[in-house]
């Protein structure tokens, strides 16, 4: 995870994207990518969306959209200085008392 | 990451949520959480959204929303049998030839 | 429609929300409301989401989320000075040559 | 509004899209279009997103994305049999007691 975060930061650094990568803007970019992921599933039935029902092309498209979502999430976590694994663990803990 | 995926899977298993956790449904839940993350940033200026400008409460709320997004993304990756680190690396590679 | 747009503008004016209602911010608020609408449908099957299958409470909740989405869309259209009916007609025309 | 709803319904009817147009699926399509709208604004500052700052091309792209959002919202309202103007008025009323 840390290694991926660093690769993504270097990528942004080399292209001088720092000024664009505010948390506000990154949350919008993240939402845009999630919108593209939704588009892959929108006309499928829940059954057609299952792993074993997807075509190779569908699967590939979904994988790349998921990657885009994860990339922006890691970028957001990086610019905010958040320990992602720690907050995920904390949230699982909170959920386990709620459900 | 693998350990987090397993914890999240156990959590869903124990509550018998498997039938709800189709990829289609999980993509919607993911988008719902991203909507809540956007809501944290929507009335802030880009400058106010920066790490050093956020109040403790804002930061805490953002952390927990990010955790929710990551949890659903890991759950989606799990039910689809995707190697997340591999597809992120592949996408960074693709992006580096595009930009 | 024009009358609704005016009511929504007055509502924002009276609360001095103009400085917050930039197109960028309103697009985020719109997306946040759509996220809440998705949350109403996320665990339902497509069949359970049909008009005749929804409970009174589900229907009421969905109606109010749809209203929130429409309110922010009308606010966005207003601050951008867009003729909504005209652009919808134009887009239907474009779509009819594409599909 | 009613006339636009009818045009959009005819468009869907002629292409035999009824089976795809469940409320659940339409909410996803709506979110996908909102994602595309966000993408138009994500790297702009709030000031750059203002009506007077947008280029002709930016404006055109935004108009067409807004049209797509409105089209899916009207389609959703149609399949659910919702009186959109009535629920918007009701929600403005609710908001006016809250804020």
Please give the mean pLDDT across all residues of chain C.
96
- Asked whether residue C57 carries a pLDDT value surpassing 90, the answer given is yes
Read off the pLDDT band of B2 (50, 70, 90): confident
Task: Work out the pLDDT band at D86, boundaries 50, 70, 90.
Answer: very high
CB-based contact D90 C71, cutoff 8 Å:
no
Subunits with at least 3 CB pairs below 8 A relative to chain A?
Answer: B, C, D
**Is B67 close to A59, i.e. CB distance below 8 A?**
no
Predicted pLDDT at B98: 86
Using the Cβ of D25 and the Cβ atoms of chain A, whether some distance falls under 8 Å is answered with: yes
* Pick from C20, C35, C41: CB nearest B43: C20
Using an 8 Å CB-CB cutoff, list chain C residues near A46: 45-46
pLDDT at B84 over 90: yes
Chain A residue at shortest CA distance from C25 = A24
Window 49-88 of A: residues touching B by CB (8 A cutoff) are: 49-51, 59, 62-64, 66-71, 73-74, 76-77, 79-82, 84-85, 87-88
User: Do B66 and A89 lie within an 8 Å CB cutoff?
Assistant: no
pLDDT of residue B57: 98
C38/B25 CB distance under 8 A: no
Instruction: Please compute the mean of the pLDDT values over residues C56-80 and round it to a whole number.
Output: 98
Answer whether C43 touches A (CB < 8 Å).
no
Question: Min CA distance, A2 vs chain B (Å)?
Answer: 11
Q: Is the pLDDT of residue D2 over 90?
A: no
Q: How much is the pLDDT for A11?
A: 93
What is the model's pLDDT at position D53?
A: 98
For range B42-69, the mean pLDDT = 98
Q: From the list C28, C35, C43, which residue is nearest B25 (CB)?
A: C43
Q: What is the nearest CA distance from A95 to chain C, expressed in angstroms? A: 17
Q: Smallest Cβ distance to C23: which of D49, D70, D80? A: D49
Average pLDDT over residues D41-60: 98
Q: Is the pLDDT of residue B1 over 90?
A: no
SS3 string of chain A? Answer: CHHHHHHHHHHHHHCCCCCCCCHHHHHHHHHHHHHHHHHHHCCCCCCCCCHHHCCHHHHHHHHHHHHHHHHHHHHHHHHHCCCHHHHHHHHHHHHHHHC
How near does any CA of chain C get to the CA of B35, in Å? Answer: 4
Rounded mean pLDDT of D87-97?
94
Please count the residues of chain D. Answer: 99
Average pLDDT over every residue of C8-15: 94
Chain mean pLDDT for chain B:
96
CA distance D37 to chain A (A): 8
What is the predicted pLDDT for the residue at A84? Answer: 97
Instruction: Inform me whether the pLDDT recorded for B99 exceeds 90.
Output: no
Distance (Å, rounded) from C-alpha D39 to C-alpha D23?
24
Q: Which pLDDT does position A36 carry in this prediction?
A: 98
The per-residue pLDDT for B81 is 98
pLDDT digits (tens, 9 = 90+) for D7-41: 999 999 999 999 999 999 999 999 999 999 999 99
**Average confidence (pLDDT) over D52-60:** 98
Average of per-residue pLDDT across B10-29? 96
**What pLDDT is attached to residue A52?**
98
Give the pLDDT confidence score for residue A35 in this predicted structure: 98
The per-residue pLDDT for D1 is 82
Distances from the Cα of C90 to the Cα of A81, B44, C93, D10, D64, angstroms: 45, 34, 5, 16, 8
Task: State the smallest CA–CA distance between residue A20 and chain C in angstroms.
Answer: 14
> How many alpha carbons lie under 13 Å from residue B15 in its C-beta half-sphere?
13
> Is residue D87 within 8 Å of residue C63, measured between CB atoms?
yes
- Write out the DSSP string of D7-75: HHHHHHHHTT-GGG--HHHHHHHHHHHHHHHHHHHTTS-TTTTSGGG--HHHHHHHHHHHHHHHHHHHH
Mutate to test the interface with D, among B28, B32, B44 (most CBs of D within 10 A): B28
pTM of the full predicted structure?
0.97
- Quote the longest CA-to-CA distance of chain A: 44
- C1 pLDDT band, cuts 50/70/90, is confident
Q: Which residues of chain A have pLDDT under 70?
A: none
What percentage of chain C has pLDDT greater than the value 70? 100
> For residue C23, what pLDDT band results from cuts at 50, 70 and 90?
very high
């Amino acid at each position: 995870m840390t290694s991926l975060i660093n690769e993504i930061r270097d990528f942004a650094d080399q292209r001088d994207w720092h000024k664009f990568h505010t948390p506000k803007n990154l949350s919008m970019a993240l939402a845009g990518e999630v919108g593209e992921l939704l588009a892959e599933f929108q006309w499928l039935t829940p059954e057609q969306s299952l792993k074993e029902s997807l075509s190779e092309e569908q699967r590939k498209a979904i994988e790349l959209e998921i990657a885009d979502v994860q990339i922006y999430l890691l970028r957001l976590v990086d610019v905010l200085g958040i320990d992602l694994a720690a907050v995920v663990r904390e949230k699982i803990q909170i959920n386990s008392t709620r459900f």
